[in-house]
Chains A and B, each alone.
Chain A
């Protein structure tokens, strides 16, 4: 029994079931020194290419995960997808509408279908608000529910959905543990009946047993409500558990995108192989690990050609000169940006 009438048809233009499409989307940040320093000390302008031309699509009901190390731009992609950042280049389309329309009055219906869950459940809930007010805020902001009784009924329903007790709504966030707080964030995100949830490291701040509770809950909700997720994480085991498809990012670019099974059983890009190799092995199979030397380069001054070449065991002259294009492999299952894969050297 829903207290809120569900919006009927989705505002779809494309007709197929791709609901999010990123087309060569980019985000540059100007991190130049102040004007006076540039003039007096001749310091150059500095542009950080946090996301540098990323394309992918997400189909209804699936979970796409983006993985990568700190500074690879995965969280920036998440923020671009919900409109918290405006792209510097390219476009994000949501149900066939450009995301720029989202801040207009006509974008209101679109906004309801798009919600975000943040990493830190301690920072993302207002400590001075009761849980009932936190969860009811989107309902009120979108004018979905008019009278107080209906709001209360919907809040109870949402709390039940995330396995909390309706009595919890009178409490404040500090009275909950980290995992319970993350459930409150999820309840808040579900308030407007969204179809697409962007989850930016939703379990990184949680202990493993609590992480399992939240991951199970997210899977249950996806099944029950038909949600579509973009899941951002640095933890490959978590990504393996929750995803349908996985994208690997390195220095602002996608280097590999493939179905989960393919990426974990037959990774193509050397960086993906390195990441998989670096995971501590709980199975204790005793496999030899080859920790790849080197660290992520400074994104302000990325290497020439393929940005991974200084750490790559397969790099040659072409890799140092020319940036590889992100395109489907011969089998057509995955998309990879690597000269060595293209030339069938690996």
Chain B
């Protein structure tokens, strides 16, 4: 990219140490956002999209922790800043908008006090100037009679108005980056449209970059420049939003797009992805999507694919690796490594299918781990 990125996340890993071992919630994510750009991050529950956002603003809840990687803002690392330093970055450099506007406002202070506090903390202006600015901000977010409303408490606002206040609060110190985590999910559709339009307009005017985290592909299509699709803690696909929506490259994105009901045509059935996202305790080996993938082949069982060029986007899928395709079906190693690890995974190939349809998408053995011993000998490499 020609312009230096505003935000750069490199090889970010987020772990949760638990009594039953360390869970890897975000696994080796790299992304960047240019100044003034809107990057959408979509995925289903548990994909790790909100954790990525929380890690960037330094609000990971313990025991969650950044295990590896770095977060750079304007070329400076911010993931290892001490608490007080990070507080200055939050609000000043990075603003945050969360899903529930009621819990992100303090019910005991008027909205004016909260916005003025943010402004005077980060910018060196007098209280009177800050109040004037707060009124301007509320007006800009479309709150009528802002001079009067500024002295009201959050409970006196409706849901849509509250979210406008939260946006005003996030933009109060003119940050260069806003992390918006499901900003419209709690709102009705008519209000949602107003909030999206508002967010788009404000960020374009102030050239603020936005990381828009949502599960709603429609919101992304309307708002974002680029989109990252997340699955099981990794980026499945990242690229320009029109390309990802109209020419998805990763089988997961293809399934996801097909499963969204649209108005364009009358489908008798929606495309569906069988199964559900794996739990963190049982991320499948190889590509994490392979047990649900209609295009799975032998390479997918060995090794996690990294992002590789796919059309105008990048996808982490072996289908886009020429080497993997060339050797497709010739490789009979279905499981590489120590058979004792098999217990961790609940998908193992059954005996007959391995012998019968080598390299073809096969049916899985999905059952009690105690039965796995029976299959071990077949799974271990190799029968060639």
B191 touches A295 (CB 8 A): yes
Give the chain B neighbours of A216 by CB distance below 8 A. 269-270, 272
Contact code string A212-243 (vs B, CB < 8 Å = 1, else 0) = 11011001000000000000001011101100
B294 at the interface (CB under 8 A from A): no
Give the chain A neighbours of B274 by CB distance below 8 A. 213
In the complex formed, the residue of A with least CB distance to B220 is: A280
In angstroms, Cα B276 to Cα A179, docked, is 8
A-side interface residues, number (CB < 8 Å)? 38
Give the chain B neighbours of A274 by CB distance below 8 A. 190
A281 touches B260 (CB 8 A): no
A281 touches B221 (CB 8 A): yes
Known: A209-B44, A280-B222, A282-B245. A295 touches B158 (CB 8 A): yes
A174 at the interface (CB under 8 A from B): no
A284 touches B188 (CB 8 A): no
A41 at the interface (CB under 8 A from B): no
B190 touches A207 (CB 8 A): no
B193 touches A291 (CB 8 A): yes
Min CB distance A190 to B, Å, is: 20
Give the chain A neighbours of B194 by CB distance below 8 A. 291, 293
A282 touches B215 (CB 8 A): no
A234 touches B189 (CB 8 A): yes
B-side interface residues, number (CB < 8 Å)? 44
A211 at the interface (CB under 8 A from B): yes
B197 at the interface (CB under 8 A from A): yes
In the complex formed, the residue of B with least CB distance to A289 is: B193
A219 touches B269 (CB 8 A): yes
A46 at the interface (CB under 8 A from B): no
Partner of A211, one of B246, B259, B267: B259
Q: Which of A262-276 contact B (CB under 8 A)?
A: 264, 274-275
A207 touches B263 (CB 8 A): no
In the complex formed, the residue of A with least CB distance to B158 is: A295
Known: A281-B218, A284-B242. A213 touches B272 (CB 8 A): yes
In angstroms, Cα B214 to Cα A207, docked, is 11
Give the chain B neighbours of A296 by CB distance below 8 A. 188
Contact code string B212-228 (vs A, CB < 8 Å = 1, else 0) = 00011111011000000
Interface of chain A, main secondary structure: helix
A278 at the interface (CB under 8 A from B): yes
B260 touches A237 (CB 8 A): yes
Give the chain A neighbours of B219 by CB distance below 8 A. 280
B242 touches A241 (CB 8 A): no
Give the chain A neighbours of B267 by CB distance below 8 A. 241
Give the chain B neighbours of A236 by CB distance below 8 A. 189, 263
Give the chain B neighbours of A317 by CB distance below 8 A. none
Q: Which of A42-87 contact B (CB under 8 A)?
A: 69-70
B256 at the interface (CB under 8 A from A): yes
B271 at the interface (CB under 8 A from A): yes
Give the chain B neighbours of A240 by CB distance below 8 A. 261, 263
Min CB distance B283 to A, Å, is: 15
B255 at the interface (CB under 8 A from A): yes
A284 touches B221 (CB 8 A): yes
Residue pairs across A and B with CB atoms within 8 Å: the count is 114
Q: Which of A168-207 contact B (CB under 8 A)?
A: 177, 179-180, 207
Known: A209-B255, A240-B263. A278 touches B44 (CB 8 A): no
B271 touches A278 (CB 8 A): no
Give the chain B neighbours of A69 by CB distance below 8 A. 188-190
B189 touches A241 (CB 8 A): no
In the complex formed, the residue of A with least CB distance to B160 is: A295
Give the chain A neighbours of B246 by CB distance below 8 A. 284
B271 touches A212 (CB 8 A): yes
In angstroms, Cα B259 to Cα A241, docked, is 11
B197 touches A289 (CB 8 A): yes
Known: A215-B270, A240-B263, A291-B193. A207 touches B222 (CB 8 A): no
In angstroms, Cα B75 to Cα A322, docked, is 63
Known: A69-B190, A274-B190, A279-B189. A208 touches B222 (CB 8 A): no
B262 at the interface (CB under 8 A from A): yes
Q: Which of A122-151 contact B (CB under 8 A)?
A: none
Give the chain B neighbours of A293 by CB distance below 8 A. 194
Give the chain A neighbours of B276 by CB distance below 8 A. 177, 179-180, 207, 209-210
Give the chain B neighbours of A211 by CB distance below 8 A. 259
B218 touches A280 (CB 8 A): yes
Give the chain A neighbours of B241 by CB distance below 8 A. 284
Partner of A70, one of B45, B188, B222, B277: B188
Known: A215-B261, A282-B218. A208 touches B256 (CB 8 A): yes
Q: Which of A233-263 contact B (CB under 8 A)?
A: 234, 236-238, 240-241
Min CB distance A249 to B, Å, is: 13
B273 at the interface (CB under 8 A from A): yes
Give the chain A neighbours of B192 by CB distance below 8 A. 278, 280
Max chain B CB contacts within 10 Å: which of A180, A219, A282, A292?
A282
Give the chain A neighbours of B242 by CB distance below 8 A. 284
Contact code string B233-267 (vs A, CB < 8 Å = 1, else 0) = 00000000110011000000001101111111001
B67 at the interface (CB under 8 A from A): no
A281 touches B189 (CB 8 A): no
Min CB distance A207 to B, Å, is: 4
Known: A207-B215, A216-B269. A278 touches B189 (CB 8 A): yes
Min CB distance A210 to B, Å, is: 6
Contact code string A288-306 (vs B, CB < 8 Å = 1, else 0) = 0101110110000000000
Give the chain A neighbours of B140 by CB distance below 8 A. none
Give the chain B neighbours of A277 by CB distance below 8 A. 193
B146 at the interface (CB under 8 A from A): no
A209 touches B273 (CB 8 A): yes
Give the chain B neighbours of A289 by CB distance below 8 A. 193, 197, 222
In the complex formed, the residue of A with least CB distance to B192 is: A278
B196 at the interface (CB under 8 A from A): yes
Q: Which of A9-41 contact B (CB under 8 A)?
A: none
9 A-B pairs besides A211-B259, A295-B191 with CB distance below 8 A are A207-B215, A219-B268, A238-B261, A280-B216, A281-B221, A281-B222, A289-B193, A292-B190, A295-B161
Q: Residues of A at under 8 Å CB distance from B? A: 69-70, 177, 179-180, 207-213, 215-216, 219, 234, 236-238, 240-241, 264, 274-275, 277-284, 289, 291-293, 295-296
**Sample (19) of A-B pairs whose CB atoms are under 8 Å apart:** A70-B188, A207-B45, A207-B276, A208-B44, A208-B260, A209-B255, A209-B272, A209-B276, A212-B259, A212-B272, A213-B274, A216-B272, A237-B261, A237-B262, A280-B193, A280-B196, A280-B218, A282-B218, A291-B197
A-B interface, 4 closest residue pairs, ranked by CB to CB distance from nearest: A280-B218, A212-B259, A207-B44, A241-B261
